[in-house]
Chain A
Amino acid sequence: MQTTADGTFLHVNRTFCSWVGYERAALIGQRRFQELLTMGGRIFHQTHWNPLLQMQGSISEVKLDVVHRDGTKIPMVLNALRHDNRGIVVDELAAYVARDRDKYEQELLLSRKKLESLVAEATRLQAEAKDRALFAEQMVGIVSHDLRNPLSAIAMGVAILGRSELFGNQQRVANRISRATERATRLIADLLDFTQARSGRGLSVTRATIDLHEVVADALDELGQVYPSRALTHVRTGVGPCSADASRLAQLVGNLVSNAMTHGAPDQPVTVSSSLLQDSFSIAVHNYGAPIPVESQGKIFEAMTRGAGAPASGRSVGLGLFIVREIARRHGGTAEVESSAELGTTFRVTFPRLPAALDDEGPT
Chain B
Amino acid sequence: MSVQVRNNVHVSGSGRLTMLFAHGFGCDQNMWRLLAPAFAARYRCVLFDLVGSGGSELSAYEPKKYGSLQGYADDVLEIAREFGEGKIIFVGHSVSAMIGMLANLKAPELFAAQVMVGPSPCYINDEGYVGGFSRADIESLLETLESNYLGWSSNMAPAIMGAPEQPELAVELTNSFCRTDPEIARQFARVTFLSDVRAELPRLHAPTLILQCSDDLIAPVAVGEYMVRVLPRATLSVVENVGHCPHLSAPSASAHAIDAFLRHEGI
Instruction: Write the residues of chain A forming the contact surface with B, with a CB cutoff of 8 angstroms.
Output: 5-7, 38-44, 46-48, 50-52, 54-65, 75, 79-84, 101-102, 105-106, 108-109
Contact = CB atoms under 8 A, between A and B. Distances in A.
A285 B71 CA distance: 73
Nearest to B158: A60
A60 B160 contact: yes
A44 to B, nearest CB: 5
Interface in B39-62: none
Interface stretch (B199-207, B227-235, B240-248): B240-248
Q: Which of A48, A63, A75, A80 has the most CB of B within 10 A?
A: A48
Given A5-B249, A58-B161, A81-B162, A38 B30 contact: no
B127 interface: no
Contacts of B222: none
A211 B190 CA distance: 79
Contact of B146 (A46, A58, A59, A109): A109
Given A39-B133, A51-B27, A65-B147, 10 more contacts: A5-B242, A39-B136, A46-B243, A47-B244, A51-B248, A55-B173, A56-B174, A57-B165, A63-B147, A106-B147
Contacts of B149: 105, 108-109
B159 interface: yes
Interface string B134-169: 001101111111111111000010111111111001
B178 interface: yes
A47 B185 CA distance: 12
30 contacts: A39-B136, A40-B144, A43-B137, A43-B217, A44-B145, A47-B244, A48-B26, A48-B27, A50-B244, A50-B248, A51-B26, A51-B27, A51-B31, A51-B245, A52-B178, A55-B173, A55-B174, A56-B177, A57-B163, A58-B161, A59-B158, A59-B161, A61-B159, A62-B158, A63-B147, A63-B148, A63-B151, A65-B147, A81-B162, A105-B150
A47 B25 contact: yes
A108 B25 CA distance: 26
B216 to A, nearest CB: 8
B130 interface: no
B218 interface: yes
A307 to B, nearest CB: 57
Interface of B: 24-27, 30-31, 33, 94, 133, 136-137, 139-151, 156, 158-166, 169, 173-174, 177-178, 193, 215-218, 242-245, 248-249
Contacts of A42: 217
B26 A47 contact: yes
A257 B263 CA distance: 102
Nearest to B133: A39
A80 B166 CA distance: 15
A39 B264 CA distance: 39
Contacts of A43: 133, 137, 140-141, 144, 193, 217-218
A98 B158 CA distance: 17
B16 to A, nearest CB: 31
Of B26, B218, B248, most buried by chain A (CB within 10 Å of CB) is B26
A5, A38, A40, A75 — most chain B CB neighbours (10 Å): A40
Nearest to B30: A55
Q: Which of B136, B173, B178 has the most CB of A within 10 A?
A: B178
A50 B142 CA distance: 18
Contacts of A102: 147
Contacts of B163: 57
Name the residue in B136, B165, B177 with the highest tally of chain A Cβ atoms < 10 Å from its Cβ.
B165
B174 to A, nearest CB: 4
Contact of A62 (B137, B151, B173): B151
A6 B245 CA distance: 12
A64 B166 contact: no
Given A46-B218, A51-B31, A56 B164 contact: yes
Nearest to A102: B147
Contacts of A61: 151, 156, 158-159
Contacts of A82: 165
A80 B174 CA distance: 14
B30 A39 contact: no
B254 to A, nearest CB: 13
Nearest to A57: B164
A38 to B, nearest CB: 5
Given A51-B27, A79-B161, A81-B162, A62 B245 contact: no
A38 B144 contact: yes
A56 B169 contact: yes
B250 to A, nearest CB: 11
Given A5-B249, A55-B173, A105-B150, A64 B244 contact: no
Contacts of B94: 47
